[in-house]
Amino acid sequence: MPSSTRSLTVTDVLAFWGAILSSIAFGWNLYRDLLDRGKLTVSAQLRRVAMGRDGKLYTFKDGIPIEGASEKLYVVVTVMNSGRRPVMFKGWGGKWHDGKSFNVVGVDLPKMLAEGTYHSELTDEIVEQIDNVKELYVWDAAGKNWKVSRKGLKMLKEEARRIKTS
Q: What is the pLDDT along the chain (166 residues), one digit of tens a residue?
A: 556 677 888 898 899 999 999 999 999 998 888 877 888 999 999 998 888 888 888 888 877 777 778 788 899 999 999 988 899 999 999 999 999 999 999 888 899 999 999 999 999 999 899 999 999 999 999 899 999 999 999 999 999 898 888 7
Domain boundaries, the chain: 9-37, 40-165
Fold of the 40-165 domain: Immunoglobulin-like (2.60.40)
78 class by beta-carbon count within 10 Å (0-12 exposed, 13-18 middle, 19+ buried): middle
pTM for this model (two decimals): 0.75
Distance CA 150, CA 42 (A): 11
